[in-house]
A and B are shown apart, each in its own frame.
Chain A
Amino acid sequence: MDTITILNHYRTRLLSDDNLVQILARIYRDGAKSENELSADLKTKPIDLQESIASLFRGNLLRLTTNARWITTELGDYIMARLGISTVTARSILREQKIDVEEWQFLDACLAKTSDNDVVWSADQTSLLRTAVHLMPWFSKHKDWTKSSRVRLLYSTIIGLNPYYQKLGPSAFCRHIVDRLDATSPMRPSMEYALPKKSFRIYHAYCTQALHDVERSNMLFMHGDLPSPKDTSVVGPLTLVRMLSAVLSKRCDQSLEAASRSTEVNYMKLWTRLQLWDAGVDRRCASVLSALGRDDEARQSKKAGGLTALFLNVAQSTNPQECLHQWISSAEMSEDEPLERGATTTALLWSRALARLRLELVSGKLDVLPQRQQTNLFSRLEELSATFKERLISPRLSFEHPPLNQTPRK
């Protein structure tokens, strides 16, 4: 264990100071905040906050955005999840939703079950729920959005995407949660909840529906289309929530990751389908990203297909060898497609993919491949670059790659 590195980087003893934890937790829950907004929330003067904020900044727990607002860093987010504050955040967000008390009780019990040792799912769950809640006011303006749609989206976000639920199945999972709530069950740990036994059937139906909604969302993601028009009211919003949450947390939920790896996703078709559902999807996502302090991503999201491009950056953060096949195949498939609306997205995707592959090849990161395969790959990349240049629409897009006369290392 590199003790000195730990001491050099873990500069702020966060947990010893309740002020620091409260400031960090508030920003983690609500998103980007200025010092004035924080002082109003915590009912204190801005000058009293400055020392604490400076300490959090020096400790790499907060960072400043371009609009003079503070947001948590990845380290800050990790610590919040590790302390269980991400679960508290999720429960706090849920408490503010306008749903029936029985539904709130069940969902809250599901959130409360998240252990602080399950850092990854705890953080993902909070990110998904926060994203859903930020997009909810916009969803509710659609004509096919009902109160039931809101509940279904919450169930699919909190339960449907829960990896433990997906492994246990609706019956075992529901029984476990209901037993926790049931007043007569010996497994019930406290007197906090009281639930009639007949509700098990209703909860089971909702949980089963949540699983179906996630499956349909996976299908929409993979194929760019829905099996049934009536799925639009929840499945489209759910897919959007998952993709935007992945951009925010820089990590896909498990089934989205599996979907992105199992097939060559046609992002153009997916983006077009989302646009058909709502033409302003990129602008809405940009406003959510901006509200949460992600100003750079918000600017990129405003461009046509910007959200899918941002999502691709996250989805591609895997073994380069796994990406290789996907990108080469998708680039080959896209060669024959007419470049109409969304050409900028296609051009952007190609240029990034090609630039990244060339850099990795030339710098030796793909040395795991046999030499012959490397040489073939380099030749293919040069052919694709030449083909891509002919179809390029915007001459301002630049290639971030080394000169063409550079060959792979021997």
Chain B
Amino acid sequence: MKIRRKHPTSFEAEVERLRCDALARIDRIPIAALIWGPAQNGKTATSDVRSRLRDVLLKHGHLARFSEELLDPNSRRSNFAQQVAQAEAHDIVFSIPDSPGSIAEIHDFARIPTLAHKIVAFLDRQWDDGYSNQSLVQMQSVATCRIQTYDSSHLPGCVIDSALDMIGKLQEFYYIGGRRF
């Protein structure tokens, strides 16, 4: 419930002014997000969420990219190594797998100490009976990636809203830590 202040004191008014000024600056802090998931031409609900998430983040002034757009086929480094480098370069990685097989790919990265702490994996609850989902959830700790389960009937909002909330927290945190752009 909102605290109603009909006649705010000068202290309250000044605090509110500072808060609004800070919010305006926070909104301008870009976050670099990598979005993993099914290919665009798959035309599945998850690939649609992936595209929409990228569009929403770009609209808010953030940097949102797909790994396949960044892969260099002529590089002498493996795709895995390139993905590791991409993940290290971004602030956060959203992973939206659409099959048990692709969930297993997250296991490859979830155990890498330098990467796991950047990955947020969105897992459909319909696969909760399977080993991939279960082991990722059970392994979840302060040292591994974050798991957010969802009900597919709530797509795309459940993923996009959750991702935007996390982006907002990162923006606030970075601002408080001194980032100013």
A residues apposed to B, CB below 8 Å: 1-8, 10, 13-16, 18-19, 21-22, 25, 29, 42-44, 48-49, 51-52, 78-79, 82-85, 88-89, 92, 117
Other-chain residue from A5, A10, A43, A117 in contact with B142 (beta carbon distance below 8 A): A5
- Interface segment, one of B12-20, B59-67, B97-105, B130-138: B12-20
Question: Other than the known A1-B91, A21-B19, what 4 A-B pairs have Cβ atoms closer than 8 Å?
Answer: A4-B119, A15-B172, A22-B3, A88-B14
- The residue in chain B whose Cβ has the minimal distance to the Cβ of A117 is B178
Asked whether B120 lies within 8 Å of A88 as measured between CB atoms, the reply is: no
Give the number of A-B contacts (CB < 8 Å). Answer: 96
Contacts of A52 in B (CB 8 A): 3
* Smallest beta-carbon distance A48→chain B, Å: 5
Contacts of A8 in B (CB 8 A): 142, 146
* Smallest beta-carbon distance B60→chain A, Å: 14
Asked whether A5 lies within 8 Å of B1 as measured between CB atoms, the reply is: no
Give the complex CA separation of A88 and B13 in angstroms. Answer: 10
Contacts of A83 in B (CB 8 A): 18-19, 22, 176
Does B166 sit within 8 A of A, measured CB to CB? yes
Contacts of B170 in A (CB 8 A): 3, 6-7
> What are 23 A-B residue pairs whose CB atoms fall within 8 Å in the complex?
A2-B118, A3-B117, A4-B116, A4-B145, A5-B142, A7-B169, A13-B169, A15-B22, A15-B172, A18-B16, A18-B19, A21-B15, A29-B11, A48-B1, A52-B3, A82-B175, A82-B178, A83-B18, A84-B18, A88-B11, A89-B11, A92-B11, A92-B14
Contacts of B16 in A (CB 8 A): 18, 21-22
Contacts of A29 in B (CB 8 A): 11
Asked whether B3 lies within 8 Å of A4 as measured between CB atoms, the reply is: no
Asked whether A88 lies within 8 Å of B3 as measured between CB atoms, the reply is: no
Asked whether A4 lies within 8 Å of B23 as measured between CB atoms, the reply is: no
Known contacts A4-B146, A5-B117, A117-B178; A13/B172 CB under 8 A: yes
Give the complex CA separation of A303 and B113 in angstroms. Answer: 49
Give the complex CA separation of A8 and B26 in angstroms. Answer: 20
Asked whether B11 lies within 8 Å of A15 as measured between CB atoms, the reply is: no
* Smallest beta-carbon distance A369→chain B, Å: 32
Contacts of A79 in B (CB 8 A): 176
The 6 A-B residue pairs with the shortest CB-CB distance, nearest first, are A2-B117, A25-B15, A48-B1, A4-B117, A44-B3, A92-B11
Contacts of B92 in A (CB 8 A): 3
Does B76 sit within 8 A of A, measured CB to CB? no
* Smallest beta-carbon distance B9→chain A, Å: 9
Contacts of B15 in A (CB 8 A): 21-22, 25, 85, 88
